[in-house]
Amino acid sequence: MRRLRNVKIVATLGPASSDYAMIRKLYEAGADVFRLNMSHGTHDDIRARHSIIRQIEAETGMPIAILADLQGPKLRVGTFASGAADLEEGQHFRFDLDPTPGEGHRVQLPHPEIFAALEPGASLLVNDGKIRMKVETCGADFADCIVTVGGTISNRKGVNVPDVVLPLAALSTKDRADLEFACELGVDWLALSFVQRPEDVLEARALAKGRAAILSKIEKPAAVKAYDAILAVSDGIMVARGDLGVELPVHAVPPIQKRLIRGARAAAKPVIVATQMLESMIESPMPTRAEVSDVATAIYEGADAVMLSAESAAGQYPIEAVTTMNNVAISVESDPTYRDVIEASRKAKRQTVADGIVAAAREIAETTDIKAICCFSQTGTTVSLVARERPRVPIIALTPLVRTARRLCLTWGTTCTLTEEQERFKGAVISAVRAARKFGFATETDQIVVTAGVPFNTTGTTNILRVAPCDERLIHRADPE
């Protein structure tokens, strides 16, 4: 199934999208990657949805990527004697380790790690930032605060601590069990929550043991500050704007989003823009104009993918949400301004032979009548380098490894297909021609660009480029046995 756009769509599965019929409709509407949220549902639920996706993959003959999103540690207050308390601006409030049910002036915060990291002047945010406090004094087992934004605080509401790096691992005990389960199940990507430092990513990578690619969610101010180091050890990035918008001023998020996207693109690593993209479509069949503009902005900025969360997982209109994203992407990418913006932001560092090959492939494709760039790849690295160039023609990724084909479903502009291992470049060219014609990118009178590495089936050897006719007879004449 050929997509008519370059940006990819990630759809989260949940109660509203858990059976075969709905997941199949989401795929047909445009979902390229399915997200399994490990925060919700049992392992049996996750296993069932994974099985359905793989069934659809087998029926369509097209690889589909599966992203397992780990929950991360959850920081929550304790309970209240009356279930809740009303806090007013200017009043004093204490957090401590005492498990006694809270009242209007205090509540338990069962996380000594938070107290260990707090300093006077630090902020504490409760219930997604609806309640805000400033720490006045603190110790190893308490924090006395003044309320700066009041509201109702109730049992087990979440707590954010934006101003400090917390001495907490990104992987909780639950996350470790979920990670092993997801890897054994055979997911393609692992999204890592609560990332604060590159060491968090390295820990997850060690546990995954190459069974899944690691995608770091940038959702904390500490991760923004350490972004370059985190990006260097990650396979991909998610701009998780929900928590970013809680822990940072909301007006700071758009420029951060732009910077994160550009950094990931320069590193040739896929980047997803996530959270509240079509939030109103949880309950409405039509999005707001502001939401459509938000999705369009992410596409103009060059994101590899845009993501639906509750819209497709728990909303009333999951198919309409995917269809809307698909239509917005097609409209944006047909706008001449889109190419101007994308090409103006092309600042790749070219230091290797592969960098030069893919840059030449794009130049040739854009200055002559080339219909597609076809890349043979074992690991997907060359395909990612081509995608970094954001060429004007489609990218066809050919690989003998299903794992590589699935992971590349998250990469901008890429149509993935499995092929037999090749021993000679002529065979690779013929396979590329057949793929270009199969997907409708070219006819027998057209030409394509083919990149590969010789010797074949060896990683990191991209060293050859050829402009090839899409008539196999011409290939045989040019390259007799």
- Catalytic positions, please? 35, 76, 217, 275
Euclidean distance between CA atoms 238 and 165, whole angstroms: 20
In which residue are the tokens 């890897």 written?
183
Q: How far is CA 325 from CA 73, 93, 364, in A?
A: 31, 44, 31
Q: Could you tell me which residues are beta bridge partners of residue 116?
A: none
Q: Could you tell me which residues are beta bridge partners of residue 85?
A: 153
- What DSSP string runs through 110-124? --HHHHHH--TT-EE
Length of the chain: 481
Q: Cβ distance 220 to 248 under 8 Å?
A: no
Q: Cβ distance 49 to 66 under 8 Å?
A: no
Q: Cβ distance 311 to 281 under 8 Å?
A: yes
Please name which of 294, 250, 270, 260 lies closest in space to residue 129, comparing C-alpha atoms: 250
Please name which of 405, 391, 392, 403 lies closest in space to residue 357, comparing C-alpha atoms: 391
Q: Cβ distance 264 to 270 under 8 Å?
A: yes
The C-alpha torsion from 478 through 415 and 293 to 130, rounded to 10°, is -150
Euclidean distance between CA atoms 236 and 263, whole angstroms: 11
CB atoms within 10 A of CB 223: 29
Euclidean distance between CA atoms 401 and 377, whole angstroms: 9
Residue 103 three-state SS: strand
Please name which of 205, 98, 119, 107 lies closest in space to residue 162, comparing C-alpha atoms: 119
Euclidean distance between CA atoms 339 and 391, whole angstroms: 9
Residue 66 three-state SS: strand
Q: Which two tokens stand for residue 204?
A: 């997850």
Q: Which two tokens stand for residue 240?
A: 């998780």
Euclidean distance between CA atoms 200 and 169, whole angstroms: 7
Q: Which two tokens stand for residue 293?
A: 């503009």
Q: Cβ distance 359 to 389 under 8 Å?
A: yes
455 preceded by cis ω (within 30°)? yes
